[in-house]
Structure 1
């Protein structure tokens, strides 16, 4: 309302686009509020004049155009917006008001779709000097509030460090952010009530603008580690992971702004062994599970670095080709596939291929006696101990973990299969011998490309 009144007073002719979960909801909430005050607020009439329906060019259910050409329109999340203009103008301000709730944040795919819509539709539709404001409480680690808070170029105002408005300003002084509306004592009563029903996370989301893990959240964001690097080989076929950057989940925004801060003083050539897990999908229809192939590089301390993975709905023959291609690329010491008809089919195809390819583990039937939940939960200590590292862009895997036990788990399944037979690299002792030899010889120019064995 303030922006609209400023527009009227300054003659800027703002084009304000109100965006809600649905067009109808934002019209009922925000546009109705604006219409009411333009019509009945005596103070506004006294200061700014009559801007009610009587003087407006348009006074519709989803948009109003005032006498000076100022526009307020409503739109729902995911509605087409690119190229939207009224009176040959683009939106100068887009206000997103509670576009996400507990219902449309149940899957990683839906939340990723919201972010893509924002970046691919809402942002490009703005006027050259336009702005976007997102008003919301955090619902999930993959939700817009958290993603934009971590993103480069987006600013999060607030009463606390890092952004966000906490309803409790000072615990010691028992001071709330808006004591006339919600006093401190009332907030503490709400906290007790939520705690008694084991829903404390909802209280912290709505009133403290914080995400706290629920009892069911097994894989927490603070467990996540990241790396930047690539798999390399020496002339004997030994595998090394060349690592250039290492950082944590809490460092993500700083990493995006300045990756150099997390760059190692010199690249680390870490001896590794690779292992592959494959979770075949049974259908290509829309909404079905994805087929996944996940390969990990494991070092001597059993730290696991997830290499670029495969995740698509494909035919059995296409999955076979992809598995073959990734075996050639990563040369895993062991390949584990979920025991079903696919495993027999894939093994037979590989045996009969022109290459006569042999994959260790593929012909051994992998029978899982434990439930999928039990197998996934056994992976939690790896994450808790900070022994699992993601590469950039592995949002599907991150989504599977943060949404567990809800949502899809295709990539998590592939990762779990990859961990079934892990061990450290056998060439670690060779690398140690090389380092000792270099130290004794005192030569600075000794080859560090791992091309020699002693």
Structure 2
């Protein structure tokens, strides 16, 4: 960033006269930064940095979410300079809280502010003196008596609801790196951070409180991605900005610091890690986990794209894969039921996953009732296939369903592990043979793309059981005519309609 053009006379006045300084900087965060943080201004200010200053000044925007490349100055602008300008400038904030993923990180932000106040002659003259505070919860704060203002640090491990500075509720909340690679690995942790933000942080303020969230995109379901989606879909009032070092057209975001591709290549060599380069500088979500299913493989369908369920459109059957859990304890797995409509064979095979799969802890009777209700509801009055793993308790469930007159099948998995079974479905997902509804399978997709790190994988297991059985049937000779199963299990009669050869043993 580079200083605006200031005459030598004005520079002298600014340095010697506090009234001149405050008058010039009161309405402009950009001017404030260039005067009080002049030592940080080593390159020409980039367009995106000017936008950050502008966003910080716009009090009509109560939530600002910023994702920018490493070294962009986003934290210096929004987490160091802005809290001080918000107190000294026209916004006149009284209670600022800086939030980070850990208490150590939060304290470090205030340590950086304190050091700046101690070493920066102009800041010390205009904001000082200041006092340090530590309360009984270990929260760390700087108090600026001249402006009756307080800057406090807290973490995702702490609750800030109900906090006040005198009569003031928090009027500026700055979240900087409230997630890290470990915290986004599991949905449980992602939900925990999101619940903390919407249930604890946002309610801590009032209608005039500004919320600034700065970070990086670490996961497809991270808090920042959820906020991005909510703002983009106009479900959340706010502004989302994303600034990669190089955009899709090859434009460099900060030409003052990186004027040519040569400087970019030199920077890239210093990272020494392609994953870090993609994530930290190009803002592409790269997982450190070896994925079985990649998020960008998932393809979707609209409900009106499902063909009619008749022979003219090669409709074959509807089936549900079930992964059963026995215990209802909080730590136990869930019983999961994933269903699909199947059309065509081989290169014309299409599998439409139905929305809202079952995923809950159930006792034995509830499991049977749910499976039977699902079988009938999916078939529009006719029963549809129920597939369970051919092992122990699950095999017994299949037999009970058959005795009750439902088309159930115990499926052998031949000793393969869960990861391998899911991997066998990957080519059908990537090719678009397996399609997902645009809404209603978010948890299933999350378990599939996060397999191995998510706490639960029951839906993914039910999915792989279902799809692998469909794969095993795909090369069989197509059946001509309709077969029926009697109460005795013979392939005649009228109990329920199925194609016999579809589910014969291999």
How does the TM-score come out when normalised to structure 2? Answer: 0.64
Whole-Å separation in 2 of the counterparts to 1:65 and 1:155: 30
Q: Which residue of 2 aligns with 1:333?
A: 384
Is 1:305 matched up with 2:358?
A: no
2:405 aligns with 358
Q: 1:8 to 1:386 in 2, by over 3 A?
A: same
Q: Tell me, yes or no, if structure 1 residue 20 matches structure 2 residue 100.
A: yes
Whichever structure has more helix as a proportion of its residues is 2
Q: Give the structure 1 partner of residue 281 of structure 2.
A: 207
Deviates more, 1:342-351 or 1:119-128: 342-351
Residue 397 in structure 1 maps to residue 444 in structure 2: yes
1:417 corresponds to which of 465, 468, 477 = 465
Contact 1:19–1:96 (CA under 8 A) maintained in structure 2: yes
**CA distance in 1: counterparts of 2:366 and 2:101, whole angstroms:** 38
Contact 2:258 2:264 (C-alpha < 8 Å) held by counterparts:
yes
Equivalence map 1:42-53=2 (5 Å): 42-46=121-125, 48-53=126-131
Instruction: Provide TM-score, normalisation by structure 1.
Output: 0.71
Partner in structure 2 of residue 375 of structure 1 = 421
Deviation at 1:311, TM superposition (A): 1.0
Q: 1: distance between equivalents of 2:204 and 2:304?
A: 38
Tell me whether 1:121 sits opposite 2:200 in the alignment: yes
Name the structure 2 match of 1:79.
Answer: 158
| C-alpha deviation, 1:63, in angstroms | 2.3
- Map of 1:221 onto structure 2: 295
1:218, CA displacement in angstroms?
A: 3.5
Structure 1 residue 391: Cα displacement: 4.2
Report the Cα distance in structure 2 between the residues aligned to 1:230 and 1:411, rounded to whole angstroms: 25
Cα 1:386–1:168 shift into 2, 3 Å:
closer
> Deviation string for 1:354-380 (max 9, x for gaps)?
xx6322233x45343433222211111
Query: Is 1:65 equivalent to 2:149 in the alignment?
Result: no
CA separation in 2, counterparts of 1:321 and 1:339? 20
Matched residues, number: 374
Change (3 A) 1:330 1:83: farther
Provide the secondary structure at the position in 1 that maps to 2:174.
strand
**Aligned partner of 1:295 among 322, 327, 339:** 339
Residue 431 (structure 2) aligns with: 385
Kindly indicate whether the alpha-carbon contact (under 8 Å) linking 1:18 and 1:96 is maintained by their aligned counterparts in 2: yes
Of 99, 103, 107, 2:178 maps to 99
Alignment gaps of 5+ in structure 1: 158-162, 195-199, 241-268, 430-454
Q: Alpha carbons of 1:322 and 1:170: their partners in 2 closer, same or farther (altered >3 Å)? A: closer
Show CA shifts across 1:137-184 (max 9, x none): 222222223332232344332xxxxx233279996989767459x953
Deviation at 1:345, TM superposition (A): 3.5
Partner of 2:268: 188
Q: Name the Cα RMSD after superposition.
A: 3.8
Q: Secondary structure at the match of 1:156?
A: strand
Closer, same or farther: CA 173–421 of 1 in aligned 2, 3 Å: closer
Q: Is the 8 A contact 1:139 1:205 kept in 2?
A: yes
